[in-house]
Structures are given as structure tokens and as C-alpha cells.
Homo-oligomer: A and B are copies of this chain.
Amino acid sequence: MNTFGRIFRLTSFGESHGAGIGGIIDGCPAGVEVDMNFIASELERRKPGQSKITTGRVEPDRVEFLSGVFEGKTLGTPIAFIVWNKDQQSQDYDELKNVFRPSHADYTWQQKYGIRDHRGGGRSSARETIARVAAGALAKIILRKPGVHIQAFVSQVGDVCLEKPYGELDLSCTENNIIRCPDPAIASRMIEKVEEAARNHDTVGGVITGVVTGVPAGWGEPVFNKLHADLGFAMLGINAVKGFEYGSGFAGTRLYGSEHNDVFIKTKTGIHTRTNHSGGIQGGISNGEDIYFRVAFKPVATLLKQQETVNSEIQPVTIHPKGRHDPCVLPRAVPIVEAMAALVLVDHYLLQKLNN
């Protein structure tokens, strides 16, 4: 259950305070030129300590490829990779060994497995997403060939919202600020929101919007594995995600059918739709329009303030976590959302080859 994908398959491994985090990518086509600098740059976007509003942990997060790449190209064989763990301060967690932190996975893991690695959350740590970003970077490289481009950005932090539709934004500005919001004015307010929360030893949640361009009509599957079902599954598998919607989403439920339907029109480039409430997907299959979706992230569960809870003896205890934690996961989650979208899309890209 640690494998993602059907054709391009990532099997990931690793605990936060174990030897490292990594994975095996199986099903990658042979002959792909592996752009190591690009993969490194994607991991840079995810890594902690990248700005004043992210955790102060310093992790170099350099990825090492162990197989499947020869003279710069993929061999068609499994591509194993690892990012070694460093800078762990496992002793920070000693006092939490028998404590179930609120809204964390401590209690549920203990109930499921009867054993857990309590250090840094073990495998429930967000550090696990390194494997996703590395594999997603390779997926993005493969998706260059069909011309698919994936861009995510922060569209809400707490109650600070970017109301403009993505089409009215210059998404190329997303990386210009530390919160990863393409509107500089809203970005400033978002950063203030995070800083305010951090000052109060509190945390905030928000929303990330993803936009995918260049997907031709015909990718996806019509029944269980609808393209948006696979995207939703991918996003809901990211830590702290509470919701997913695509196209018109929850807001679209309030429209009448006559308002919501996307009328087909003939253009110079073929068939298109006048509006795009469908979010580029109809009947689970891409229709050639932009695919866009929104992902809800809850506020980080680790607060640097005192909280009540219980321990493994079911006795009430008070905890007061220390350590270095993000007051808001949103900016670092942007490359993770993109990576998961890339994994879904590369899978459907390859699957569609079976129909040709």
C-alpha cells in the first residue's frame, strides 16, 4: 500500500528519523534524459528552511540515484533513489514516546500496528513527501514531450483569499514570493497571516490551486479511474489535505444546468468549450481544455503551545512541543501538489498509448 500508480509506479519508503527517505520508480520508459538539475530544483522548492516562514530545520535533501539510470538516461529498469536523513534531533521526541499528540497520527498508528517509530512522526512525517517530489520531477520531465505543464499556487491562507480566477493571474510570478501566490499584494497579506500565527505559537491552513495545461483530449478512464478521481485520490493522500474539488467544484452545485453546461464551439484549433466549468474533464476523460482543481489543507497540528491530551496508558497529560515546525505547510506543499498531479498525468499519458 506504499505504491502509487499503475504503469509509472512509485513505491516509497522511509521514516523521518531513519536512514533516509526514498523510493523505487518502476515502469519509467527507457531512454529518458534525466535532468538532474531540475530534480534538485524541485526538491529545493519542497525543502525546509527555505524562508523565514518555514521550519528552521536545515536539510540539504540531495537525492542520490541508485539504479535505473546509465550515462544520463533511463534504462527502463527500476529507478531507486534516496535522500539521506541528516540533522535529526531525535531526542526532541523522547518525551513524546508514549504520548498521543492531538490531531496527529500517533494514536491511530499505534492502534493499527501495535508499534510505531515515535521520532519525528516516523513515517507519518511530511518528510515522506520527498519521494513524491523526486518521482514527480521525473514525471514532469517525461510530460514535456506531450507538452503538458503543471503549475500550482497558494490561493488561500486562513481567511486571506485570492479571489481572481487563475486565468486573470500571471502564474509565472508564483515563485517570486515565499508564500507562492502569484498576486503580490495578496501574497503579502498571506505572509502576514502566517507570521501572526507563528507569533501566537499557532498555525494556519489554506488552499492550493493546481492548473494543468497541454493535456490533449482523451486521457483518463471513464468509470472508477476518472482522471479527476485519480487526481483527487493523489491529493487526498498528501498529509493534512481535507478536501478536493475540480472545475466548478462545490460552488458549481448552486448553478442550474443551463448555467453550468459548457457549450462546444468550433475554433481554428478544433473543438473547444466556451466556458470551462468541467475543469477540462468530462466523463472522467480530458477534453483538451485546462484542467484546474483546488486542494484544502488543514492548519498544522503541531502547536508550540501547551495542549491537553492522553498517553498510551490512557492518562491525561499536558504537552508543550518544542522543535522546529512550520506554522503553515502551504508554500512547501505547492511542489508536492504539482508532483502528485504529474504522477497521475504521466500514468494516464502512458495508459493512453495502449489505445494507439
B283 to A124, Cβ gap below 8 A? Answer: yes
Stretch at the interface among A35-43, A71-79, A162-170, A179-187: A71-79
Q: Is A111 an interface residue (CB 8 A)?
A: yes
Among A200-228, those with CB < 8 Å from B are: 200, 202-207, 216-226, 228
B299 to A80, Cβ gap below 8 A? Answer: no
Instruction: Identify the interface centre among A13, A123, A203, A247: most chain B CB within 10 Å of its CB.
Output: A13
- Asked whether A30 and B224 contact (CB < 8 A) given A232-B244, A299-B257, the answer is no
In the assembly, how many copies of this chain are there?
Answer: 4
CA A104 to CA B222, docked complex, whole Å: 12
B309 to A222, Cβ gap below 8 A? Answer: no
Q: Is A136 an interface residue (CB 8 A)?
A: no
Chain B neighbourhood of A122, CB < 8 A? 70, 75, 77
Among A115-137, those with CB < 8 Å from B are: 115-117, 122-124, 128
The residue of chain B having its C-beta at the shortest distance from the C-beta of A310 within the complex is B264
CA A239 to CA B228, docked complex, whole Å: 11
Which of B18, B128, B257 interacts with A303 by CB under 8 Å? B257
Stretch at the interface among A50-58, A143-151, A248-256, A331-339: A248-256
Q: Known pairs A24-B24, A159-B254, A243-B246. 20 more at Cβ < 8 A?
A: A1-B351, A11-B24, A12-B78, A15-B70, A19-B64, A74-B115, A75-B117, A77-B222, A102-B264, A102-B273, A107-B287, A108-B281, A114-B355, A224-B237, A225-B237, A242-B245, A243-B245, A243-B250, A250-B296, A354-B354
Q: Is A91 an interface residue (CB 8 A)?
A: no
Chain B neighbourhood of A278, CB < 8 A? 103
Q: State how many angstroms separate the Cβ of A67 from the closest Cβ of chain B.
A: 4
Chain B neighbourhood of A197, CB < 8 A? 256-257
B115 to A73, Cβ gap below 8 A? Answer: yes
Q: State how many angstroms separate the Cβ of A2 from the closest Cβ of chain B.
A: 5
Q: Is A48 an interface residue (CB 8 A)?
A: no
B255 to A205, Cβ gap below 8 A? Answer: yes
The residue of chain B having its C-beta at the shortest distance from the C-beta of A121 within the complex is B283
Chain B neighbourhood of A262, CB < 8 A? 102-103
A250 to B252, Cβ gap below 8 A? Answer: no
B354 to A356, Cβ gap below 8 A? Answer: no
Chain B neighbourhood of A216, CB < 8 A? 111
Q: State how many angstroms separate the Cβ of A17 from the closest Cβ of chain B.
A: 9
B217 to A111, Cβ gap below 8 A? Answer: yes
B223 to A299, Cβ gap below 8 A? Answer: no
- Asked whether A112 and B76 contact (CB < 8 A) given A223-B123, A243-B245, A282-B104, the answer is yes
Q: Is A26 an interface residue (CB 8 A)?
A: yes
The residue of chain B having its C-beta at the shortest distance from the C-beta of A273 within the complex is B102
Chain B neighbourhood of A315, CB < 8 A? 266
Chain B neighbourhood of A283, CB < 8 A? 104-105, 108-109, 124, 239
A79 to B13, Cβ gap below 8 A? Answer: yes
CA A51 to CA B2, docked complex, whole Å: 40
Chain B neighbourhood of A19, CB < 8 A? 64-67
Q: State how many angstroms separate the Cβ of A204 from the closest Cβ of chain B.
A: 6
Chain B neighbourhood of A80, CB < 8 A? 13-14, 22, 82
The residue of chain B having its C-beta at the shortest distance from the C-beta of A105 within the complex is B283
- Asked whether A115 and B76 contact (CB < 8 A) given A66-B82, A256-B204, the answer is yes
CA A200 to CA B261, docked complex, whole Å: 15
Instruction: Identify the interface centre among A1, A203, A299: most chain B CB within 10 Å of its CB.
Output: A1
